[in-house]
Chain A
Amino acid sequence: MIDPSELSRRRFMQLGLNVGAAAGASMLLPGLVRPARAALPGISEEEAVIAFGHVGPITDEGWTWSHHQGLEAVKAAYPKAKYLEVESIPYSADATRTFRQFVSEGANILFSTSNYGDFFYDVANRAPDTAFLECDGRTLGDNLGWYYVAHWWPTFVVGVAAGALSKTGKLGYVASFPVPSVYSSTNAFLMGARTVNPNATLQAITINSWFDPQAATQAGTALIDNGCDFLFGIMDEAGYLQVAEQRGVWAAMWNTDIRRYGPNAYVSSIIVDFKQYYVEQVKARLEGKWAPAGTILKMGAGVDRDAWGAKVPADVAAKADAVRKDILDGKFNPFTGPIKDSTGAVRVKDGEAVDDAWLYNWDWSIEGVTGVGS
């Protein structure tokens, strides 16, 4: 131990140098601090243990249900493997406990369907032989990767339809947390709507949950009372769709086709499909070819708009689909400057086009969006 009373100036400087050198080395040469690892060794199907940690209940007919379909697809491809699945994991130390449990049961590959951050990384750091994949994550490690969907493209397409369908030009949005997924969703939606109605605005209500039917229902009601005639959001369930149906306004949803809960209100949905991705990842892990990577699934390969609702006029659907086709053909990037933030400052310069990696980390509201963050 170092006794501070005997610490000479010279010794102190030396200490500082040592600390500085160590910090510098770890920044510049991570490979020296922690040995780089080759791909994890393969494993036979019979011995494989595949674990899924879900953020919500698999009966939600939304986000978690979609991920569960992914698990079912993997199961169909590798029926002899052992599968572990836990639902409704809270964002707390309970998550760490759950993931650690997976590891102690011998999980070879572990998917978490939401971003549990340090609760997840703590476990990943201590289980170097398990492959960890975090949905909506942003950190790469020796055995840690992430994946997400480029939902902003289909969201822009649905936004075009919203701009055409909304009479008041006031779009309502049920938001979860002020996080990049929500910023990119609200912003892309309003940008789409503004291609049709340049005066459209978007009002969001933040309910601090991805799955809280009663808060989403009340938020939807308050938005409609306030003049919004098109509801969108980023919820794992159908709450505000039912409100929209009752009140006779439009609604677009997320995750799955749930039009039967509001057949007249339903416009479309940001459909997610992780089946192919999950099967690929498990295949790579079993064959010993898995290496950590960050993957954003593109429109048409993991995320897309749903078939249009029954009451959506054909010309509106055609207009939005034309935009979708241009995006798919690579002819059109709607996320091209100038893009102004909510204070009016230009954040993306005129003519500058931003890519998926940039959009994935969008953390400010564009002009016209209110209610996300503050």
Chain B
Amino acid sequence: MDLITGILSTAFLAGGVLALAALGEVLAERVGVVNLGVEGLMALGAITGIATVVAYPSPTLGFLAALGVGFLFGCLFALATVTWRANQILCGLALTLIGTGLAATVGKAYSGTPSPAVFGRVEIPLLVDIPVIGRAFFAQNVLVYLIFIILPVGLHLLMFRTRHGLNLRAVGENPAAADAAGIAVQRIRFWYVAAGAALAAGAGAYLTLAFVPSWSEGVVAGRGWIAVALVIFAGYRPLNAVLAALLFGVITALGFVGQARNWPIAPAFLSMLPYLGTIGFIIVPVIAWHRMRQWMAAPAALGEPYFRDVR
């Protein structure tokens, strides 16, 4: 495998975690709810995934179980932030603390043990023979295809090409107007927040069932926060989010390839790359996207609970 194929292959694999978590966050933020619990949800998903395959060696079942646990905690979060209109930032932080703590406690028995069943590679015939990209992208596990093709395209079509998508965006932009137009604001917010949380937990399961693949405390390593930053960078758009995650994957891969090829850069600096990249992800939107704010702006009602009586 040559250099570029190697980097891209790792980039797809590493970026997939962030892409899935970011897609979940896009769902929540598009309906106007900031979910800072991604880090905790990913930890919960990661431990659910591995605990399930230890009990029953089916990675698909592990992934579905993680989605279920994420959905459950998403419902709790939505109950607090949407139904009871609690502060979204504080609830998100609480969810992160609960998730990482609970996962660490449950995960004690699984620490360091490799996952007994993982998502294997599925090569797509014909496409895999495309030079450079073929081996990098079309010889990955099923989740990578789901995360990089099916989900983003599906969500993009749903959000920008359907009536329902218009409604859900309206809920994030101006809930009062949406309410007046007869859209069930609270119901849409609740279910999309829960669905977004499910995807975030799915990203955690991707870590333990496809990427690492084993559980250790701190396996999420701040990726939840990076996913939140990615969503801002991606202008709250699913296709952009996936591309941004891929870019991030390339940065991560460069850190290791740089060491393997003995680039004259200090290893400490190469290990720093993902975090420097995150800082870049936060700065770029402020400077560059300003002119493109029509397309890249945050939903207008992001972070604001909706009270019908103050309409």
Binding site for B on A (CB under 8 A): 56-57, 59-62, 88, 172, 203-208, 211-214, 217-219, 221-223, 225-226, 228, 236-239, 242, 261, 370-371, 374
Contacts and interface: CB of A to CB of B under 8 A. Distances in A.
B204 interface: no
Given A57-B216, A222-B6, A203 B260 contact: yes
28 contacts: A57-B216, A59-B108, A60-B111, A62-B112, A205-B256, A205-B267, A206-B259, A206-B267, A207-B271, A213-B112, A213-B212, A213-B214, A213-B219, A217-B211, A217-B212, A218-B14, A218-B252, A222-B259, A225-B3, A225-B10, A225-B257, A226-B6, A226-B257, A237-B214, A239-B114, A261-B114, A371-B259, A374-B267
B261 interface: yes
A221 B108 contact: no
A203 B267 CA distance: 13
A59 B108 CA distance: 8
A65 to B, nearest CB: 8
Nearest 9 pairs of A and B residues by beta carbon: A60-B112, A225-B6, A57-B111, A222-B256, A222-B260, A226-B260, A214-B212, A205-B259, A237-B112
A219 B112 contact: no
B259 A219 contact: yes
A179 to B, nearest CB: 14
A56 B112 contact: yes
B212 A222 contact: no
Given A59-B108, A208-B271, A219-B260, 7 more contacts: A59-B113, A213-B216, A213-B219, A222-B6, A222-B260, A225-B257, A226-B261
A237 B213 CA distance: 12
Contacts of B289: none
Interface in B257-278: 257, 259-262, 266-268, 271
Contact of B113 (A61, A88, A212, A218): A61
B1 interface: yes
Contacts of A204: 259
Nearest to A57: B111
Chain B at the A interface: mostly helix, strand, loop or mixed?
Answer: helix
B267 A59 contact: no
A167 B221 CA distance: 36
B213 A242 contact: yes
B1 A88 contact: no
Nearest to B211: A214
A258 to B, nearest CB: 8
B110 interface: yes
Given A208-B271, A239-B212, A371-B262, A59 B256 contact: no
B239 interface: no
Interface in B218-253: 219, 221, 252-253
B217 interface: yes
Interface residues of B, number: 34
B207 interface: yes
B109 interface: yes
Contact of A59 (B110, B221, B253): B110
A194 B252 CA distance: 33
B256 A218 contact: yes
A223 B213 contact: no
* Residue in A61, A172, A225, A226 with the greatest tally of chain B CB atoms within 10 Å: A225
Contacts of B253: 218, 222
Contacts of A212: 216
A217 B3 CA distance: 18
Contacts of A225: 1, 3, 6, 9-10, 257, 260
Nearest to A203: B260
A222 B10 contact: yes
Interface string B1-35: 10100100110001000000000000000000000
Contact of A219 (B110, B217, B221, B256): B256
A242 to B, nearest CB: 6
A222 B8 CA distance: 11
Nearest to A261: B114
A131 to B, nearest CB: 29
B260 A57 contact: no
Contacts of B9: 225
B262 A242 contact: no
A335 B114 CA distance: 36
Nearest to A247: B1
A208 B271 CA distance: 9
